[in-house]
């Protein structure tokens, strides 16, 4: 009887231990997250009424613009330009003005030994007897104010003349300069942003009186009619904004009269005794396209620069909309920039001759010309406040330049993959800097943001992601509609968003808000990975560890791969990841690892990399539920056989006791 009691206790203890083991290896899981997919909501924005069809034909009926007559005299010896700016200013804003500001930029430009400067000699009324007007000059801010004799009301005009003298900075560094030498036929005079330029009044800032900035393009101008008259020494070859309507030589001087015919945002000219000129007519738009370059650059520029300009004009004109002017010039320049855009005339650096980067000098020159030519569409015909929204036209133009390359040079594989993809992924890893796009140039400077990066790398890469998201045809059509809706007008990022929403018929807030406003990219992690053997469901969470740093949550598709033992692929599909996202996937076999695949290029996943060459994010810590954990099977068998043996012994012992 004693044996029977001990055996019963042992049996109870064995069953208890077995139950304890089983309780450790069985886990219940009732969480089944849905697969959230980003869907467009109803669009509430309406397309604006466009004047494109009228404007491209020169019909500006019902629209008033200011008019400027700029008369210039180039002094070759002193590298200075005497000028008269006759102003016929139209107030197209709903406020009264008592004074008007003008930018006088040259004193803010870089130089070698001779600083640039605009000396304002006087300001007088236009009507006889002429009356001097009071004006104030603030050299440190490159600004002057002209005080009016009476209040200028909306839809009214005022006229006056500004007499000035501009000293061109030397050194061949900035937008206006004189550089080069006569002995080797390399001297060039470049007159850009070198006359009093009227500031813009808008609803956001009032008068935009920002000083000259060495970061970005510090320009923001309204459309206006211009007449440009340039007096230069005889035999000087001039490239200037507009159609040459008069050419007269008197007493060793040549007087050239240029008329852009349609409104432009500003004018420029460049002069040299040594320019070689090549020209051709682009018949589809009746545009006379010309290149101006130095003899030293003949082998690179001859025919090649002109062909590139024609190709660019043709592609952009037929895709986005009319280039309505009758002339377009590409001019060689001295500069620390690659090039610079102005209405009807762009500049490309002479340093292309010596380019020794990853590609050839031809590649570099073609890139500059294609880029600056695209600014005729996105800067001149469609205007942007380049101080507050400079990234917008630069980002569009950088993408358009790459599209030009892909169109004419498909073997370059520009989008396979897009060069900006890895730049964005590894930017924070290398710099540690935030990179919010939607901020002004001064805000970039104060926040420690690299404007060159967001304007020339990040923004165009985000546009490439948008193209892949909404489709190539929809993206190109959106840019074309944007251009035509704001032809001869000024636009911003909200306008672009509204155009794309109207064009696609879907809300795109979910795309524009995070990608343009967040300072950091998403940094994904995988957590809470559970696999239920009974339901064959794998549940896990993809979360963004930067989410608390974002103003808006990111949404994008990411390829997800699931592998079972032996790296056998069980699942390979894309899923929408919307901020922190819970995912549930049916998997037939027990999974071993979960992978977010970043190497599938056509999905264009953007993320903040934790290390270089990060092609995927992997999670192997998957908790298996409703199944004995591997390694406990042997223990289970031992306990089971032990229990069976005890029961057999117990039964035999009872037989022995009974008999």
Q: Indicate whether 183 and 258 sit together in one domain.
A: yes
Q: Indicate whether 190 and 114 sit together in one domain.
A: yes
In angstroms, the CA 513 to CA 516 distance is: 6
- Could you tell me if residue 428 is inside a domain? no
User: How much is the average pLDDT of 355-367?
Assistant: 93
DSSP state of 113: S
Peptide bond into 235 cis (omega under 30): no
In angstroms, the CA 365 to CA 371 distance is: 10
- Residue where one domain finishes, among candidates 412, 435, 462: 412
Q: Is the pLDDT of residue 570 over 80?
A: yes
Listed in sequence order, the residues at least 6 apart from 551 whose beta carbon sits closer than 8 Å to its beta carbon are 513, 514, 517, 518
If DSSP codes are grouped into helix, strand and coil, which group holds residue 555? strand
The tokens 């101006």 sit on which residue?
Answer: 292
Q: Indicate whether 107 and 146 sit together in one domain.
A: yes
- Residue where one domain finishes, among candidates 386, 412, 438: 412
- Could you tell me if residue 458 is inside a domain? no
Q: What is the DSSP pairing of strand 489-490 with strand 382-383? A: parallel
Per-residue confidence (pLDDT) for residue 16, from 0 to 100: 46
In angstroms, the CA 425 to CA 422 distance is: 5
- Residue where one domain finishes, among candidates 412, 443, 468: 412
User: How much is the average pLDDT of 40-45?
Assistant: 42
Per-residue confidence (pLDDT) for residue 655, from 0 to 100: 47
In angstroms, the CA 184 to CA 447 distance is: 46
Per-residue pLDDT tens digits for 576-614? 999 999 999 999 999 999 999 999 877 899 999 999 999
The tokens 């030519």 sit on which residue?
Answer: 373
Per-residue confidence (pLDDT) for residue 50, from 0 to 100: 84
Per-residue pLDDT tens digits for 241-250? 999 999 999 9
Q: 393-405: b or e for each residue (b if 16 or more CB lie within 10 Å)?
A: bbbbbbbbbbbbb
Length of the chain: 659
Among 4-8, 127-131, 507-511, 615-619, name the one with the lowest average pLDDT.
4-8
Q: How far is CA 379 from CA 38, 347, 435, 485, 587, in A?
A: 33, 15, 23, 14, 53
Per-residue confidence (pLDDT) for residue 285, from 0 to 100: 93
Q: Indicate whether 34 and 122 sit together in one domain.
A: no
β-strand partners of 74? 81
In angstroms, the CA 53 to CA 496 distance is: 20
Burial of 469 (0-12, 13-18, 19+ CB in 10 A): middle
Q: Taking all residues of the chain, what is their mean pLDDT, rounded to a whole number?
A: 91
User: How much is the average pLDDT of 12-16?
Assistant: 46
| R_g over Cα of the chain | 35
- Could you tell me if residue 16 is inside a domain? yes
Listed in sequence order, the residues at least 6 apart from 163 whose beta carbon sits closer than 8 Å to its beta carbon are 83, 84, 120, 121, 122, 123, 124
Q: Indicate whether 138 and 248 sit together in one domain.
A: yes
Domain of 566: which CATH number? 2.60.40.1930
Q: Is the pLDDT of residue 516 over 60?
A: yes
Q: Indicate whether 15 and 34 sit together in one domain.
A: no
- Could you tell me if residue 471 is inside a domain? no
Write out the H or E segment, with its range, that includes residue 119. strand 117-125
Listed in sequence order, the residues at least 6 apart from 73 whose beta carbon sits closer than 8 Å to its beta carbon are 81, 82, 83, 231
**Domain coverage including residue 650:** 2-24+631-658
Q: Indicate whether 12 and 130 sit together in one domain.
A: no
User: How much is the average pLDDT of 337-359?
Assistant: 94
In angstroms, the CA 429 to CA 260 distance is: 48
Residue with the bigger pLDDT between 5 and 186: it is 186
Q: Indicate whether 532 and 607 sit together in one domain.
A: yes
Tokens representing 190 are 């470049």
Domain of 298: which CATH number? 2.60.40.1730
Number of domains in the chain: 3
Residue 41 zone, left/alpha/beta (φ > 0; ψ -120 to 50; rest):
beta
- Of 244, 203, 198, residue with least CA distance to 224: 198
pLDDT category of residue 626 using cuts at 50, 70 and 90 = confident
Q: Where are the alpha helices (DSSP H) in 69-221?
A: none
Per-residue confidence (pLDDT) for residue 656, from 0 to 100: 47
Q: How far is CA 447 from the centre of its chain?
A: 18
Per-residue confidence (pLDDT) for residue 641, from 0 to 100: 59
- Could you tell me if residue 512 is inside a domain? no
Answer yes or no: are the C-beta atoms of 315 and 323 closer than 8 Å.
no
Q: How far is CA 299 from CA 185, 303, 357, 570, in A?
A: 15, 9, 19, 59
- Could you tell me if residue 334 is inside a domain? yes
Q: Is the pLDDT of residue 253 over 50?
A: yes
In angstroms, the CA 296 to CA 353 distance is: 9
Q: Indicate whether 18 and 85 sit together in one domain.
A: no
User: How much is the average pLDDT of 169-181?
Assistant: 97
Q: Indicate whether 265 and 340 sit together in one domain.
A: yes
Q: Is the pLDDT of residue 33 over 50?
A: no
Q: How far is CA 292 from CA 174, 180, 273, 311, in A?
A: 19, 15, 11, 17
Per-residue confidence (pLDDT) for residue 639, from 0 to 100: 59
Q: Is the pLDDT of residue 351 over 70?
A: yes
Per-residue confidence (pLDDT) for residue 588, from 0 to 100: 96
User: How much is the average pLDDT of 113-129?
Assistant: 96
- Could you tell me if residue 457 is inside a domain? no
DSSP state of 384: -
Per-residue pLDDT tens digits for 492-508? 999 999 999 999 999 99
Q: Indicate whether 292 and 374 sit together in one domain.
A: yes
Answer yes or no: are the C-beta atoms of 216 and 231 closer than 8 Å.
no
Per-residue confidence (pLDDT) for residue 24, from 0 to 100: 40
The tokens 């420029």 sit on which residue?
Answer: 268
Per-residue confidence (pLDDT) for residue 40, from 0 to 100: 38
Per-residue confidence (pLDDT) for residue 558, from 0 to 100: 96
Which DSSP string do the residues of 576-629 spell out, in sequence order?
Answer: EEESSEEEEEE-SS-EEEEEEE---GGG------SSTT--EEEE---EEESSPP
Q: Is the pLDDT of residue 197 over 70?
A: yes
Q: What is the DSSP pairing of strand 117-125 with strand 188-192? A: unpaired
User: How much is the average pLDDT of 340-364?
Assistant: 95
Percentage with pLDDT > 90 across the chain: 85
Q: Is the pLDDT of residue 643 over 90?
A: no
- Could you tell me if residue 443 is inside a domain? no
Q: Indicate whether 134 and 162 sit together in one domain.
A: yes
């Amino acid at each position: 009887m004693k044996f029977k009691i001990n055996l019963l206790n042992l049996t109870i203890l064995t069953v208890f231990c077995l139950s304890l083991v089983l309780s450790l290896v069985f886990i219940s899981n009732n969480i089944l997250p849905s697969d959230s997919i980003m869907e467009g909501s109803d669009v509430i924005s309406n397309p604006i009424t466009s004047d494109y069809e009228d404007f491209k034909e020169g019909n500006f009926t019902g629209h008033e613009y200011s008019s400027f007559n700029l008369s210039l005299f180039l002094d070759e010896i002193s590298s200075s330009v005497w000028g008269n700016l006759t102003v016929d200013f139209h107030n197209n804003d709903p406020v009264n003005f008592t004074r008007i500001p003008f930018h006088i930029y040259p004193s803010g430009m870089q130089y070698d030994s001779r600083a640039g400067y605009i000396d304002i000699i006087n300001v007088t009324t236009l009507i006889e007897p002429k009356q001097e007007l009071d004006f104030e000059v603030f050299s440190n801010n490159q600004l002057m104010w002209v005080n009016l004799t009476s209040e200028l009301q909306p839809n009214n005009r005022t006229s006056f003349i500004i007499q000035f003298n501009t000293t061109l900075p030397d050194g061949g560094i900035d937008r206006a300069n004189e550089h080069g030498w006569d002995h080797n036929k390399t001297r060039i005079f470049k007159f850009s942003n070198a006359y009093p330029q009227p500031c813009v009044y808008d609803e956001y800032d009032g008068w935009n009186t920002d000083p000259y900035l060495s970061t970005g393009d510090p320009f923001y101008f309204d459309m206006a009619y211009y007449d440009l008259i340039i007096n230069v020494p005889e035999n000087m070859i001039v490239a200037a904004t507009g159609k040459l309507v008069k050419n007269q030589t008197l007493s060793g001087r040549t007087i050239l009269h240029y008329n852009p015919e349609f409104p432009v945002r500003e004018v420029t000219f460049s002069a040299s005794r040594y320019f070689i000129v090549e020209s051709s007519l682009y018949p589809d738009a009746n545009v006379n396209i010309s290149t101006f370059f130095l003899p030293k650059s003949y082998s690179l520029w001859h025919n090649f620069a002109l062909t590139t300009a024609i190709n660019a004009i043709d592609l952009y004109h037929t895709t986005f909309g009319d280039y309505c002017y009758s002339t377009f010039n590409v001019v060689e320049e001295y500069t620390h920039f690659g090039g610079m855009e102005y209405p009807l005339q762009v500049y490309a650096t002479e340093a292309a001759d010596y380019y020794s980067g990853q590609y050839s000098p031809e590649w570099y020159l073609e890139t500059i010309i294609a880029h600056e030519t695209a600014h005729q569409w996105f800067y001149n015909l469609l205007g942007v406040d380049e101080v507050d929204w400079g990234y917008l036209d630069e980002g569009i133009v950088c993408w358009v330049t790459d599209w030009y390359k892909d169109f004419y040079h498909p073997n370059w594989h520009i989008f396979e993959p897009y060069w900006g993809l890895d730049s964005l992924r590894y930017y924070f890893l290398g710099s540690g800097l935030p990179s919010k796009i939607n901020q002004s140039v001064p805000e970039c400077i104060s926040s420690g943001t690299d404007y060159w990066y967001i304007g020339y790398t990040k923004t165009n890469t985000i546009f490439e992601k948008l193209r892949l998201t909404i489709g190539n045809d929809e993206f190109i059509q959106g840019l074309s509609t944007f251009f035509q809706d704001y032809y001869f007008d000024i636009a911003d990022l909200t306008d672009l968003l509204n155009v794309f929403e109207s064009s696609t018929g879907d809300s795109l807030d979910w795309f524009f808000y995070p990608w343009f406003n967040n300072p950091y990219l998403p940094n994904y992690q995988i957590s809470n990975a559970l696999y239920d053997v009974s339901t064959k469901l794998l549940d896990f969470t993809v979360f963004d560890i930067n989410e608390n740093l974002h103003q808006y949550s990111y949404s994008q598709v990411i390829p997800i791969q699931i592998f079972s033992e032996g790296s056998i692929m069980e699942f390979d599909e894309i899923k929408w990841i919307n901020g922190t996202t819970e995912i549930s996937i049916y998997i037939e076999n027990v999974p071993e690892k979960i992978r977010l695949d970043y190497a599938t290029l056509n999905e264009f996943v953007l993320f903040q990399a934790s290390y270089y060459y990060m092609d995927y994010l992997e999670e192997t810590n998957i908790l298996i539920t409703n199944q004995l954990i591997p390694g406990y099977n042997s223990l289970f068998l031992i306990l089971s056989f032990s229990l069976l043996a005890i029961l057999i012994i117990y039964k035999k012992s009872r037989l022995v006791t009974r008999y």
